[in-house]
Amino acid sequence: MNNCKYFKLCGACKYPLDDYETALKSKVKEYQKILKDFRIGEVVANPCIYHYRNKITYRFFMQKAKLCAGFYEEGKAKPISIDGCLIQKETASKIMKDILNYLNRYHVEAYNPLTKRGLVRYVMFRISSDDKVSMCLVLGSREFKGSNNFFKTLRKLHPEIVNIDMSINSRNTTVVIEGNIINVYGLGYLKDKMGDFIFNIPNNAFYQVNHDCALKIYEDVVKRLGIQKDDVILDAYCGIGTISLFLAAKAKEVIGVEINAQAVKMAKINARDNNIDNVSFITSDVSEYIYDNDFDILVVDPTRSGMDDRFIKTVLKKRPKKIAYVSCNPLTMADDLKKLKNDYSIEDISLYDQFGFTSHFEALTILHRK
């Protein structure tokens, strides 16, 4: 049995971590209410119940004149010190312990955005499927004297660290990484193998936090779409091109559209490095791009806020023959599907427990033009 001593203190997990099957059943019941107007089909359990999360962000704070790091207390803007987590990769906990030991030895203080005092604010880790680590240390506004020795010591203790970035964020905001990233060591990104592809992932890019579950989702998107060799596919909100490359193996052409220029730049590199030549990436607002361009199939994986009304109205005018909708927020997904159901038949919604023990599911459905 796995019991978490921070359960009901830390805000990450909703369900007790000692009984996965019960947690999954309880979560499904909640989503049956959320998606009551639609059919729920397959429920895919988390392939890796514990230590699945490959992106972890710690917040630094002071406690009794000592530098600590952890997550926010449930329902509060107050962090609690965490020395281990059952859902995050264990490598992060080990590195974090050595970071705190080093910084406390030199009396480094946490940055306070209200008083503008202190130095370190956050540290974020990304961990690949082969346990290589990319990290980003987020500071307040002042220089980190002795940073070279700090990073050198950390790399000696943890040779699995292959990339180190720094970022300055002095504003009173909950956004972790703002503005430019300074590469201190490595290539400026982490490499991760997913399926047949290698993806280059910068620290400020979106990448699914559960590798094995994300692979299952992407494979299901391709399988359920039934892509024909002459299909042109538009991948909206494409990010660094993860879904796009999976689609390109079956389609005539894939066009990825993303408003973030840095993500598009990395998507192009990912296509090049994987020798994919039937995919292109465009920096544009998706609502504007689809208005003047034709395609057969639409794939959407929007942010938690879902698709905006302008985009949905344009989709209804363009009437692609199929739509694959991937969502990290079935609440907004349900709202969007209601706006499309008069023009499209909607398949069963598959739920993927990509965020085990939390209140969240990833969801997928396919829509067919009537």
- Known active-site residue 328: yes
Among the listed residues 10, 85, 136, 328, the single catalytic one is 328
| Residues ≥6 apart with Cβ < 8 Å to 327 | 301, 302, 306, 333, 362, 363, 364
H or E segment to which residue 21 belongs: helix 20-34
End-to-end C-alpha distance for the chain, whole angstroms:
50
- Strands 55-63, 120-127: pairing kind: antiparallel
In 3D, which of 264, 233, 263 has the Cα closest to residue 248?
A: 233
H or E segment to which residue 361 belongs: none
Beta strands in the chain (DSSP E): 40-44, 55-63, 66-72, 79-81, 120-127, 133-139, 161-168, 181-185, 190-194, 197-201, 232-236, 253-258, 279-283, 297-300, 322-327, 344-346, 349-352, 362-369
Q: What's the number of CA atoms in the CB half-sphere (13 Å) around residue 266?
A: 25
Cα–Cα distance for residue pair 70/122, rounded to 1 Å:
9
> Residue 353, Cβ neighbours under 10 Å: how many?
24
Cβ atoms of residues 232 and 296 within 8 Å: yes
> Residue 125, Cβ neighbours under 10 Å: how many?
24
Q: Which active-site residues does the annotation give?
A: 328
